[in-house]
Structure 1
Amino acid sequence: MTRKKLWVGGLALILALVLTSVAYGALGDRLLSKGSNGPEVTELQKRLAQLGYPVGSLDGKFGSQTQTAVRKFQQDHGLKVDGLAGTATITELKRLTSESTTASGKLVGSKNVDINLLARCVSAEARGEPYKGQVAVAAVILNRIKDPAFPNTVADIIYQPRAFSSVDDGQINLPPTASAIKAAQEAANGSDPSQGALFFFNPAKTKNKYIWSRPQILQIGNHIFTR
């Protein structure tokens, strides 16, 4: 075989591997099971957590907590309960977490917002805050969708590493309060008491220099809202 043929053959193989890695960059259809790891597992964990199934840290490692979450998801949705994320499980998970098809969604600009997930975050982050403050917290998340510095879906914003303490401590998985649901819907309808804020924090609970350095807009309840 000539060098030219070897070079062409090698190039074709590299291209095939690159295309394969791109195809599986998000949640693909290959079987995921205990011991699997990588970006597909991270996406699996994120979607399970989005639906309220605790998976622990979104670390891309299919461990016992992720397996338990998969089994519970399968049980709740009439699937074979084997703890394996196969084609049927992944297809159903995609269907329920697709922001473009969710029945509970609300169109904001060109994005369809998962109201339930937004409400869960509001409930976890602003429980006990004035209703206006809860709407403002929801608005902050929606404001980030419009900003190119942030991810462009509610799920990716909420599950961005270290973005919200409620994800780290598991509070995001609790059912939302009625006021949080109402606040999420109001924000999705265009209300923004935060006046365009991209961040919020409780001054009594944070010493983070970066968040304190942001231009402050106003305070509602215990939260300061900043750009």
Structure 2
Amino acid sequence: MKKFSAIFLILILSISFMSVLYLERSYGQTLAWGSSGEDVRIAQSRLKQWGYLEGGVDGVFGKTTYDAVIKFQKANGLTPDGVIGAQTRVALGMSSNNTKTNTPASRGVSRSDDIHLLARAIHAESKGEPYLGQVAVGAVMLNRIKHPSFPNTLAGVVYQPCAFEPVKNGTINEAPDDSAYNAARDVLNGWDPTGGAIYFWNPSTATSKWIWSRKVTLTIGRHVFAHD
């Protein structure tokens, strides 16, 4: 009986250990007080952009980062333990070890050639919106590349006739700010907070009756997002 109990205990411990390894490989290592490095810097940047982090972005997980993580977790229904584990990573858009592959969603996107265009489009369409809303606007543009109803290149999507007001009024040519560039990089790295939306608009200014026939699934800032 004792031998059986010992074997059973070893089996349970082995399963627990393998589960931890799986989560670390799938979502990256857990970040906690005392951690440092690029992943911490990225987490801090997100928390800073969303208004949770009061300190600087230095790549060192200390008290200010811990407090910011707690606030973020409470606001998003996560266990407020101050640790960036698998679930908190996903909520921060840091899944898959945060080394997101060059977006497999982009049939006609070259990171080096199109990041500036995407940043300009994000800036023109969502200047003044929360950072998450800027990422969402950029994600819609990349989602259109995959959709058969739209052009299959980023330039084709952005400059499609009558698709985006900034192209018509010329604000697409304004220099994007750092926030727009960061959002463009996040989108190209695979972050899509819209869940595949291909439309967005401002309800207070939209005049098209047709657009309201689309299924609205999300609201971020002043924009709503919809699927086909």
Aligned counterpart, 1:226: 226
> CA deviation digits over 1:190-216, x for unaligned, max 9?
101111100000000012111111000
Q: Over aligned residue pairs, what C-alpha RMSD do you find?
A: 1.3
> 2:147 and 2:222 mapped to 1: Cα distance?
25
Aligned residues: 122
SS at match of 1:216: strand
SS at match of 2:116: helix
How far is 1:148 from its partner? 1.1
TM normalised by structure 1 equals 0.52
SS at match of 1:112: coil
**1:171 counterpart = 2:177:** no
| Residue type of the alignment partner of 2:109 | N
Of 103, 106, 110, 1:108 maps to 103
SS at match of 1:157: helix
> 2:108 and 2:201 mapped to 1: Cα distance?
26
Aligned counterpart, 1:204: 204
Aligned counterpart, 1:74: none
> 1:171 and 1:194 mapped to 2: Cα distance?
24
Matches within 5 A, 1:141-156: 141-156=141-156
| Residue type of the alignment partner of 2:125 | E
| Residue type of the alignment partner of 2:156 | D
> CA deviation digits over 1:32-51, x for unaligned, max 9?
xxxxxxxxxxxxxxxxxxxx
How far is 1:111 from its partner? 3.4
> 2:121 and 2:221 mapped to 1: Cα distance?
17
SS at match of 2:145: helix
How far is 1:125 from its partner? 0.3
| Residue type of the alignment partner of 2:153 | T
How far is 1:163 from its partner? 0.3
> 2:155 and 2:181 mapped to 1: Cα distance?
16
How far is 1:112 from its partner? 2.9
Matches within 5 A, 1:18-33: none
Q: State the percentage of identical aligned residues.
A: 52
Matches within 5 A, 1:36-115: 107-109=102-104, 110-113=107-110, 114-115=114-115
> 1:202 and 1:153 mapped to 2: Cα distance?
25
> CA deviation digits over 1:77-124, x for unaligned, max 9?
xxxxxxxxxxxxxxxxxxxxxxxxxxxxx9432433301000000000
SS at match of 1:151: coil
Aligned counterpart, 1:183: 183
| Residue type of the alignment partner of 2:171 | Q
Aligned counterpart, 1:68: none
TM normalised by structure 2 equals 0.52
> 2:207 and 2:224 mapped to 1: Cα distance?
13
Aligned counterpart, 1:5: none
Q: Which runs of 5+ in 1 are unaligned?
A: 1-105
> CA deviation digits over 1:108-153, x for unaligned, max 9?
3243330100000000000000000000000000000111111011
> CA deviation digits over 1:7-28, x for unaligned, max 9?
xxxxxxxxxxxxxxxxxxxxxx
